Amino acid sequence: MQHFYFDHNATTPVAPEVLETMASCLGQVYGNASSIHHFGQAAKHKLEAARRQVAALIHASTTEIVFTSGGTEADNLAVFGVVRASGRSRAHVIVSAIEHPAVLASAAQLEREGAVITHVPVGPNGTVDPEQVRRALRPETVLISVMHANNEIGVVQPIAEIARIAHEAGAAMHSDGVQAAGKLAIDVDALGVDLYSMSGHKLYAPKGVGALYLRKGTKLAPLGFGGHHERDRRPGTENVPGIVALGAACELAAKVLAAESERLAGLRDRFEIAVAGRISGTGINGGRANRTPNTSNMYFDGVDGEAMVIALDLRGFAVSTGSACSSGAITPSHVLTALGLPADRARSSLRFSLGRSTAAEQVDALVDALEASVAHLRRISVHA
């Protein structure tokens, strides 16, 4: 039986070009990038070339890129780093209600340490109202963190407007761009962000590598202590093969972004139209908002989402109920409940995230499998 992958928001396969670049680096560039001899300088050269590739994807300066172990570390470094650098004992931070756990859990820890956190709600379409952010401001506000694109519903937030509000108030603006990088055209100056998080394994690079954009002049306290790596912002010997792979993935993403975004949006629309036409009691979560081109989150009334994931997996289709970071959670998705969905509808929702390997035939086959699975599970629940 063939298996088709519709869970690219959880992780992506490593692109062949990226794998080749990384493998050659693992085999040949084994020096420490901090060493001054030939082998160290060869590693340093690769490291800085990758920094240029990452910076180019988001139109940043190379000195503004800090390499991390992934999106979670980048989010933690941004949130803790700005607040601790502010020196305020009762610093105020604004986050949206639908942030990734990497931001929400960081904010919760800051609250335990004495900071004040405001969670700004989203509307029924999953969008943050910039005016709600403005109303949440306080004289002590040092940071606003709103994700660029949501991992579960794909909704794109009005980051540029929120950033203007942040700067008017003298606060720093952070955006978790993990689900946007490689899917949307990004210009950090146009967005107005001071900090922007990225993760390699969401854009066809391996797991365990990411980056934080840090606008020049933004004050940031480090999370770890040790050597003077990454301009004293993130100590520890750099993961050169992983960073080289991230750089290659960013360069590849820039080349294919426009065409691939258009292709995926077409496939997503084809999928949603077919599901709406063939399966009753369905709807798109966040469907009326601007979304990333590859993401569709749909509810199927009367069906348990986890049961659907298993049923589709048995038919050869990998999908998810939401964030992979929240798998195993028995409570409904905080993102879907923030939209105003009742708990049972949130639990009946599935996320379908398309990628470079997704073809029209796979989408059509998924619709067939969905129709059969929903009918079967609804029949079982009626007779239970």
Alpha helices in 195-352 (DSSP H): 229-232, 240-278, 305-314, 334-338, 343-347
Give pLDDT tens digits for 262-307. 999 999 999 999 999 999 999 999 998 999 999 999 999 999 999 9
**170, 113, 114, 126: which is closest to 144 by C-alpha?**
170
* Active-site residue flag, 325: yes
User: Which residue is catalytic, options 56, 256, 276, 325?
Assistant: 325
Give pLDDT tens digits for 341-383. 999 999 999 999 999 999 999 999 999 999 999 999 999 976 6
Burial pattern 32-46, b for ≥16 Cβ within 10 A else e, equals: ebeeeeeeeebbbeb
Neighbours of 184 (CB within 10 A): 16
Joined tokens for residue 152: 């579960």
pLDDT higher than threshold 60 for residue 384: no
Domains of the chain: 4-12+257-383 (3.90.1150.10), 16-252 (3.40.640.10)
Joined tokens for residue 97: 């209600």
Give pLDDT tens digits for 161-193. 999 999 999 999 999 999 999 999 999 999 999
